[in-house]
Each structure stands twice: as structure tokens, then as C-alpha cells.
């Protein structure tokens, strides 16, 4: 299992996602309004790519929720992005206790995301500083530091 995760991380790195900047990620609000991620300049942006049918994604969500709460005053924006239809995402939201900013990803193929969940963390300048495919306990102290460094 762990070797599969490492292979996914290597594939992600080789696919060029490490070269991505925040402007390459195309997101919309669930009402269809475009999101300009450059509006978050000066803040760390944590984007978790997931799907309503993805068991590992759902398993990871409580740890993202805890991280979001722990870092609420640290200038970190958390976005939870799925390429599914807004109605599917909204239905999922209604049945889960998380206070996430759910958004729709409109260019999953262009980003070459190899599997779900995948997480990108962009620095204050909008440059990708971390990407990983696979689950992680984001509430652990070393991972909270990873988000804020």
C-alpha cells in the first residue's frame, strides 16, 4: 500500500505538477461564479482534490477539518475541490458535518492529477510548494507545519 502511494507521488512529480502555479488551477463556486485564485495572494492556499465516491478522500476529510480549525488565524485558505457536478457536491455537503469551502474544479485533466485524493499547497506568492497524491493526517503537528511553512 505504502509503495503504491510513493509511486503515485513519483508519477505526480514527473507529470509536471510541481511546475504548476496557482493560476493554472481553474475553480468555480458551486453557483457557477469563477474563482480568481490570485485574490488569495499573500495567503497560503491548501487545495484538496477529492470526489464524493472516493473512500480515501472522505476518510481524510476529518483531518483536513481539524487542520482548518487549528490554522484558522494563520492566513491559510482551505479549498475542497471536486470535478463533479455542483448538485452532487451540494448533496454531499448536506450529509457531512464539515465547514469547508467546497468548489468545483473545471480542469482536472489539464492539471494531470493522477489519482484522488491529491493535495496542492501554494505559498503566499502563488507558487506550488507541495503536492501529494494519497491520504495524510493533516491534523498532525508535522503536517500543520508543512502547511504553514
Distance of alpha carbon 102 from alpha carbon 118, whole angstroms: 15
Q: For 91-125, write each residue's pLDDT tens digit.
A: 999 999 999 999 999 999 999 999 999 999 999 99
Q: How far apart are the first and last CA of the chain?
A: 28
Count structural domains, the chain. 1
| pLDDT classification of 21: cutoffs 50, 70, 90 | confident
Q: At what angle do helices 55-70 and 141-148 cross, to 10 degrees?
A: 70
Contacts of 106 (CB under 8 A, 6+ apart): 26, 27, 28, 83
Q: What is the pTM of this model?
A: 0.86
CATH number at residue 21: 3.40.30.10
Distance of alpha carbon 20 from alpha carbon 35, whole angstroms: 17
Helix (H, G, I), strand (E, B) or coil at 77: strand
Q: For 129-149, write each residue's pLDDT tens digit.
A: 999 999 999 999 999 999 998
Q: What is the pLDDT of residue 8?
A: 40
Q: For 29-67, write each residue's pLDDT tens digit.
A: 999 999 999 999 999 999 999 999 999 999 999 999 999
Domain range for 67: 2-148
Burial class (CB within 10 angstroms; exposed 0-12, middle 13-18, buried 19+) of 5: middle
pLDDT > 70 fraction of the chain, expressed in percent and rounded:
87
Amino acid at each position: 500500500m505504502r509503495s503504491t502511494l510513493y509511486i503515485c507521488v513519483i508519477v505526480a512529480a514527473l507529470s509536471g505538477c510541481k511546475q504548476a502555479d496557482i493560476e493554472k488551477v481553474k475553480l468555480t463556486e458551486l453557483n457557477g461564479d469563477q474563482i480568481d485564485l490570485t485574490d488569495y495572494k499573500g495567503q497560503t492556499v491548501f487545495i484538496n482534490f477529492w470526489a464524493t465516491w472516493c473512500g480515501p478522500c472522505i476518510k481524510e476529510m476529518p483531518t483536513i477539518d481539524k487542520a482548518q480549525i487549528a490554522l484558522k488565524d494563520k492566513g491559510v485558505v482551505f479549498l475542497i475541490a471536486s470535478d463533479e457536478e455542483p448538485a452532487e457536491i451540494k448533496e454531499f455537503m448536506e450529509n457531512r458535518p464539515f465547514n469547508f469551502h467546497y468548489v468545483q474544479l473545471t480542469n482536472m485533466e489539464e492539471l494531470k492529477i493522477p489519482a484522488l485524493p491529491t493535495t496542492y499547497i501554494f505559498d503566499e506568492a502563488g507558487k506550488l510548494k507541495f503536492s501529494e497524491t494519497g491520504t495524510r493526517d493533516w491534523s498532525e503537528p508535522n503536517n500543520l507545519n508543512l502547511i504553514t511553512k
